[in-house]
Amino acid sequence: MYHNSGVVKKNRRSPAFRPLAVLLLGPTGSGKSPLGEAAARSGLWGRRCFHFDFGENLRRAAGRGPAGVRLGKADLAVVRRSLATGALLEDKHFPIAAGIFKGFLRAARLRPGDLVILNGLPRHAGQARDMGGLAAVTAVILLSAPPTVVRERILRDAGGDRRGRGDDSLSEIRKKLGIYEARTRPLVDHYRKRGAAVITIAVGIRTSAETMLRRLERSGGIALFTG
């Protein structure tokens, strides 16, 4: 299990600095983004939190919001294709993701001991390997919800984050769930084998982000950063 190591005590500008991170995993519609935002507002386990929503940052990079980073023509085409098709960024495109994440860190102005909530990156083993040089994933928070609950949460916009989304048709939901089970959920074992704690939160149709956050606070996760 990870503890508060010397790596987080390095100067923020040091090339070796890797922020402490918690990875949110769960199927589409399970409430990852609302939970990340709630943690960013309230903190988690006594620490300041910064929510890195990779999907939102991709949309910004594609020109659908305030510019986070400037992408070249070829990289912009890759990002727009990913957003249009739901395809994951593969290993050869990781520099795009790395650039977006580094831009987020520069803007966040982290202090030693702060937590980054990773949401949407990494999403497969290749990304997890490459993210190892950018962030120290201390814990995985697994939001567990069956497909029937996922569909109902999306239909009701239970997390309040689906308005205006054009990728919530039943066929798109099935596609995303298939990708999640095949490529993203295996990251639980990937990080568990590397010493990260795994905290599972059961999500129902009406489970709010605030309820998830309270459960996390009671989970004993604070012990990861003490002793």
DSSP state of 157: T
| 3-state secondary structure at position 22 | strand
Residue 186 lies in a domain: yes
**What is the pLDDT, as a whole number, of residue 155?**
87
**What is the pLDDT, as a whole number, of residue 4?**
39
Residue 192 lies in a domain: yes
Residue-number span of the structural domain to which 154 is assigned: 6-225
State yes or no: pLDDT of 67 exceeds 60.
no
For residue range 107-153, list pLDDT tens digits in order.
Answer: 999 998 899 999 999 999 999 999 999 999 999 999 999 999 999 99
**73-85 vs 94-108: helix crossing angle, rounded to 10:** 100
Residue 219 lies in a domain: yes
Mean pLDDT rounded to a whole number for the chain: 86
For residue range 207-224, list pLDDT tens digits in order.
Answer: 999 999 999 999 877 777
Burial readout 13-39 (b: 16 or more C-beta within 10 A, e: otherwise): eeeebbbbbbbbbbbbbbbbbbbbbbb
Residue 12 lies in a domain: yes
**What is the pLDDT, as a whole number, of residue 99?**
92
Residue 53's nearest CA partner among 74, 77, 32 is: 32
Residue 160 lies in a domain: yes
Please report, for residues 92, 105, 190, 193, 194, the alpha-carbon distance to residue 186 in angstroms, rounded to integers and kept in the order given.
20, 26, 6, 11, 13
Residue 122 lies in a domain: yes
State yes or no: pLDDT of 12 exceeds 70.
no
Average pLDDT over residues 95-115: 92
Q: Encoding tokens for residue 178? A: 């298939």
Please report, for residues 27, 87, 148, the alpha-carbon distance to residue 100 in angstroms, rounded to integers and kept in the order given.
23, 17, 33
Question: DSSP for 83-124?
Answer: HHH-PPP-GGGHHHHHHHHHHHHHHHT--TT-EEEEESS--S
Please report, for residues 19, 174, 224, the alpha-carbon distance to residue 177 in angstroms, rounded to integers and kept in the order given.
30, 5, 30
Q: Domain with 134 in it: what CATH number?
A: 3.40.50.300
In the numeric block, the tokens 């059961």 are attached to 202
Strands of the chain (E only): list them.
Answer: 20-25, 49-53, 115-119, 136-144, 197-202
Residue 1 lies in a domain: no
How many domains in the chain?
1
CB-CB contact of 219 with 199 (8 Å): yes
| 3-state secondary structure at position 151 | helix
Distance of CA 8 to the CA centre of its chain: 20
**What is the pLDDT, as a whole number, of residue 226?**
60
For residue range 170-207, list pLDDT tens digits in order.
Answer: 888 899 999 999 999 999 999 999 999 999 999 999 99
Residue 39 lies in a domain: yes
Report the percent of the chain where pLDDT is more than 90.
Answer: 66
